[in-house]
Structure 1
Amino acid sequence: MTGTPPECERLAARLRTLRDRSRLTLSALATESAYSKSSWQRWLAGRSLPPWLALSALCRLADEPEAGIRALWELAEAAWSRRTATATRALPSGDGVGQTPEHTAYRADASAPAASPPAPAAPVGAPARRFRRPLMGGVAAAVAVLVACIGILLTGAGRPAGASTGFHVGCTGIACNGKDPGVTLCGVEPKTLLHVQAPTGIGLEIRYNPLCRAAWARVWNAPPGNILTFTVPGQPAQRVAVAHTGDTDPFVYTALAAVPGRGSAMKACVTPRSGSATVCYTTRQP
C-alpha cells in the first residue's frame, strides 16, 4: 500500500502467513482473538498497525513463538509512529478541560459511531496539526530510530521493555517536558503502565520510558473532537485533540511529561466533544 512503511508491510506479510497456518477464516479469527473482522482485514492488509495483544493472540492460535513477531512489531510501531505522528500544538495548560471523579470504565460519546475493538499497541496536543521539524533533523531522527530498532531485532527481541539498547535518547527528566516521544526516541521500547479498552473500541494507554524518565498517554479509535489530557504532579499538563477520522492515524498521543521518581502518580483523562463527563485513569511508576 502506497505510503505504508516497509516495516509495517513486512509485519503484515508475516501476519498473513500466521493466519494461513492457523487455518482460520477472518470470522473465526475475530471470534477467537476478540478483535473484529474489519480490524483484522486492515491489519492483514497493512493499512493500520495492530496492537500487540492482537498479535499475541494470533501467535497463540498459530502456535508461533512470540519473540520474533514482537521484534517485527517493535520495528513497525516505531516506523508507524513516526509516519503518523499527530503530536499537535498543545492546548493551554490551565483549567481548560473540566474533570470529574475518576472512573474505572470509559464512557464513550453516545452520539459517536461505535468503533470496532482495536488493539490495545508508538509513540504523541485544538485542532491537530503536525509538528514542523527541519528536514535534516527529521531524517536524522528517522535513521536513529531505525538503527535502534535493528538493535532490538538482532540483540534483544525478548528483552523487557526499557532495557538498554545501545542508543541514546534525546532527553531525560524535565528536559523531556512537551517533547515528542518519537523524535526523542523515548518511544522505543517503552513500558505500558496502563491499558484500558471500552466495549466501543476506544482504547487508552499510559506509557513510560525509564531511560527518559518520562511518560505520555495515547488513545485510539476515539471520536474526533475528544481531548486527551495527561498529567504528572508538578509537571506541565500535556493535551491533544483527536482529529483523525480513519485508519491513517490510529494513535493520537500527548507530548512527554517528566516522571520525578518511583511511585509518581500519572493521570490520563478523555473529554468527549459532546460535553459528557470527563473520564480519568491513573497509574504509578513501579
Structure 2
Amino acid sequence: MSTYIGRFAPSPSGPLHFGSLVAALGSYFQAKSQNGQWLVRMEDLDPPREMPGAANLILSTLESYGLHWDQSVVYQSQRHQRYQEQIATWLQTGHAYYCQCTRKQIKQSGGFYLGTCREKAIKSSENCSIRLKVNEAISQFYDNKHGTIQIPQQLAQEDFIIKRRDGLFAYNLAVVLDDIDQGVTQVVRGADLIEPTGRQINLYRTLQQPEVSYIHLPLAVDTQGNKLSKQNHAPAVDIKHPKHTLIQVMRFLGFIIPNDFESASIDQILQWGCQNWTLAQLPNSLKVDSPF
C-alpha cells in the first residue's frame, strides 16, 4: 500500500474552469499513478470572495468528470480553532507578533515589509495583522518537474502575515496546517502558487514537521497571456458533456491521446491516464496557451 497522499484544494469563489481542472487532473493522475490517495479540500477562508453554492458545484463537477476523492472533504471554514491555537502558541513563544503596518505603508516603503513592528512588542490585536518571524529565508526550493526554483530574496526575507487585519486567517498558514493534519506527502498545483512555496516551507520548519515535495503544473493562459481564472471570468467547464473537455485537459498535460478515446467511457479514459502518466510528458514551460 502506497503512503502517497495528494490533494486538490479549490477555492469556492466560482465554478471550476479549464485551468482549475488542469490542477485537479494533474494532482489526481500523480496520486493514482503512485497507488496513493487523492483528497479534496475546500479552501473557504475568505467569505467575501466566495460564491454561494460554489463548493457543492465544484464537488458535483469533479464527480461528473469521474474524479472521486478518498476520505471526507475538509472545509477550512470548520478549522478556525486549529489555526487560532497555533497562532496563540507562536505569539506566546515569540515566533509571531502583532503588526500595525498597512498595505499603503508597505507600498510606500518599496513594496516589501521591512520588519517595522518586529521589535515593538505590540500587545493589542486591534487593527493589527499577525506576522511570523522569518529567521531563515527560503530563497529556493526543488520542484520535481522543474528542478531548483529561485524565490526573490526580498520576498523570501519578509516576515509574512499568518492572520490578516480583518481577522481572516492567511492562506499560507491554513494550507500548511491542513496538509500536515491530512498527511499530505506531495503538493501538485498550478505554477501561480510557486511564489508562496518558500513561506510554506518556512512554516513546516517552524513547526518542525517533514516538508512535502512539490510539482507545479503549467498555467493555462488566454491569447493575451493572462492566467485563466475566476477573476478573469474564465468560463465554467461543461458538466453535462465532460468527455471533450477531459480529453482537452489531458492533451494540455502532455498526453498523446489514442484515436479510439471518443468511444471510451470517462472511467476508461481516467484509468488509461493513471497508467500512462509521467512527469516527463508535462510541458517544460510554466505557461501554456489554453485551447479555449
Name the TM-score, length of structure 1 as normaliser: 0.26
Structure 1 or 2: more helix by fraction: 2
Decide which structure has the larger Cα Rg and report it.
Answer: 2
Name the TM-score, length of structure 2 as normaliser: 0.26
Tell me: higher relative CO, structure 1 or 2? Use CA pairs within 8 A at least 6 residues apart. 2
